[in-house]
Structure 1
Amino acid sequence: MRNLSVSEWISLDGVFDAETMPQWFMPYDSVSRQEWIRDGILSADAILFGRKTYEMLAPYWSRMKNNEMGISDKLNSVSKYVVSTTLKQADWANTTIIGKDVIKSITQLKQQPGGTIQIEGSAELVGHLQAAGLVDEYQLLVHPVIMGGGKRFFGKGMFRVG
């Protein structure tokens, strides 16, 4: 069975929203951070997105011709899946829309031959997959700042102890 790996960039208090990235993500750039991000993407055999993350990334990466560090070629050639009940068309090469029976479809995807399926961002989707027991691992790139507010990756009730 394929591994379903969640890759997230977050602040110490779990903030991950794109709107506040200049405050928590940008100031902590380093070669090791770039390599960690690159290695995660290059090791994935497929990428899974929620609609919002897909719509944020597809316009940028689908036009990217500079293959610095190998990321754009990988993202443009790898099999991609976007979960959406409203998206009618996915123009990014090698993208399949999963519009219904999401849990069943992703369970079947995990059962197909292949390597790691990596989820980028997509907290709402991750919450549903986690509740269904489909997430195998979390890879968190934690930035050394407490935001105090903003959209948090780990929503209420996402993880329960006991």
Structure 2
Amino acid sequence: MRRVKDARYPDALFPVWRYHPFFTDTDEPVDVADITHRRHAIIETVFADLIDGPLAHMPSGRFGANSAWILCAAIAHNLQRAAGILAGGAHAVARGATLRRRLITIPARLARPQRRPILHLPAHWPWATHWLRLWRNTIGHSPPATAPT
């Protein structure tokens, strides 16, 4: 049994605790078993991201093709997590589908009128600041001048 202070009651006269029971078949002490189970919960989230994303469409029944697909999926997942951390805010812990929807699949276009690049971002796009932070943290400078579309 693990006890955690309940954050919903910060001004309580006495500390309020929540208890989280868990079952295990290991011989580890409770605190070590709790850490092991939390690590397992993290990997389950990674598996869920991969299954909802690239692993939903395994290409063939051939081992070599599936092996290459899984390798590409792992690389893409790691790049996506790094992009989320570089974008900051809630994107640092967001799921893969959220990162794809908010940062990767952006409704923008790059134009070069008069041979000067201009980035056309949507006028009221709610994640523009996060995307621009990702750009600056990755490239090292601001993107080409932005023009709302």
| Fold in common (TM above 0.5) | no
* TM, length-normalised to structure 1: 0.22
Point out which structure has higher relative CO (alpha carbons under 8 A, 6+ apart).
1
Which of 1 and 2 has greater Rg? 2
Of Structure 1 and Structure 2, which has the larger fraction of its residues in helix?
A: 2
Of Structure 1 and Structure 2, which has the larger fraction of its residues in strand?
A: 1
